[in-house]
Amino acid sequence: MAENRLARELESRESAQRKQAWTPPQTLPSPKAQPGWEFRWIRTSMMGQADPINTAAKFREGWEPVKAADHPELMLYADPNSRFKDNVEVGGLLLCKAPEEMVKQRNDYYSRMANSQMESVDNSFMRTNDERMPLFSEKRSTTTFGRGK
């Protein structure tokens, strides 16, 4: 009965696994997650020209450059001619981090600004309302699918 069995080497999971489909590579490498921190790539140059205004604005917002020593796995992709020698810069983008709480506050701020602008547009639109032909402002959208045969 033992003669009909396969050799142990042939009974591996690799031989039974499906082949992985090809996917295009990511342009930017992803850093390993750290609890309490959010990561973001900040533009330092565009079309070969330095962009110190954008970089300074992001630093004032609270983003800190990530040290290359903290993420050695990303140094394979780093720019050797970077202005930020001890940090991770790839293709004119500098990897930065900020506390999650600060990022949440920032997102909430911009969400409130967008809602305020939307409310202003709605108020301006509804101001032109006429009783003879009333306007309506519906905030719902629906999706319908075709009927099968």
Q: Do residues 43 and 54 touch, judged by C-beta distance below 8 A?
A: yes
* Residue 99 backbone dihedrals phi, psi, to 5 degrees: -60, 140
Tell me the HSE value of 8 on the side-chain side, using a 13 A CA sphere. 0
Query: pLDDT tens digit string along 77-94?
Result: 667 777 888 888 888 889
Statement: the pTM of the whole predicted model exceeds 0.85: no
Query: What residue spans define the domains of the chain?
Result: 33-99
Taking the C-alpha atoms of residue 38 and residue 117, their distance in angstroms, rounded to an integer, is: 27
Q: How confident is the model at residue 32, as a pLDDT?
A: 87
